[in-house]
Structure 1
């Protein structure tokens, strides 16, 4: 029998006892009650062991659940950090690409301006040369007319 059954049995024995008139006392079978109490004493350590085992199992389950929760949180934090790092790396790469593109466009504009200036200089020199040659041609023609 377990302790609860034994306590119920003891309570029933006390309930079966004869009441003493004008008092709250009851006459019970002493030997029977002592036997029940002895059985309770014998079963009590076993029930306490079982209760301790149940408490230990509960504590172990709580510990395991906490460990699993901590592991899940750690994993989630690592994934979040990786995503943030990837995002930062991607943003950095885009910023760097935009900077490279801006530099390339600026260099292209500078090269284009330089090419225009160079072409203008070459054409100006050609114009000066041709103007001089034209003057020589005009001068030579005038010389031919005067002769």
Structure 2
């Protein structure tokens, strides 16, 4: 520790070896520790001790200034660093916000596309359902027409078959009737041959009336 000798022979510390705040505190202690003049509000201070303390403070002022400048420079550097960090944070936040907006736009676009696809699918479904219902109705009408045609054809065929059956039955019955008639004649002829011939009664004699005229017998005689 280097020292300097002040006027009066007191030893002073070299600049930079003391704490200026500590020296100011010592100066305050010197003043407070000095005797006070009664009823005057004044204090008797040792002039040499006071001057030595002031010299110590004066010698230490340049290092204190340099330290203050360094502190200010460090503070400025810290402020620049903090500002740069804040700018980086702001830039990152803006970039993140822009990215979120882009993503939000993509999401909205995707939602819009999904809504369009949903609407298109609904329209296609409605159109397909309408077409299917129309096809089903056409098929029902076609089936109804075909069934009616088949029914009419079946009725006509039934009438034809009935007429043919009636004709066939009439023909069969006619043939049977003819055969029965022939058989009846044969039977009658056979019976007539089996029975003996009957004797015919002799004619009654003709009676001549007295007047010379003949009288035919009556039916009851």
TM-score bin, normalised by smaller chain? 0.5 to 0.7
Question: Which structure 1 residue ranges, 5 or more long, are not aligned?
Answer: none
CA gap of 1:97–1:7, structure 2 versus 1, over 3 A, is closer
Larger Rg: 2
Name the structure, 1 or 2, with higher relative contact order (CA <8 Å, separation 6+).
1
TM-score by length of 1: 0.63
Q: Which of 94, 98, 101 lines up with 1:74 in the alignment?
A: 94
SS in 1 for 2:19: helix
Matches within 5 A, 1:1-147: 1-2=15-16, 5-9=19-23, 12=26, 15=30, 19=34, 22=37, 23-29=42-48, 32-33=52-53, 35-120=55-140, 122-123=142-143
Question: Which structure 2 residue ranges, 5 or more long, are not aligned?
Answer: 1-14, 168-221
Please identify runs of 4+ aligned residues in structure 1 that moved more than 6 A: 127-139
TM-score by length of 2: 0.47
Q: Distance in 2 between matches of 1:129 and 1:123?
A: 10
The answer to whether the 8 Å contact 2:34/2:43 transfers is yes
Cα distance, 1:65 vs structure 2: 3.0
Cα distance, 1:63 vs structure 2: 0.8
CA gap of 1:35–1:122, structure 2 versus 1, over 3 A, is same
CA RMSD of aligned residues (A): 4.1
Higher helix share: 1
Q: How many residues get paired?
A: 145
Q: Distance in 2 between matches of 1:25 and 1:127?
A: 140
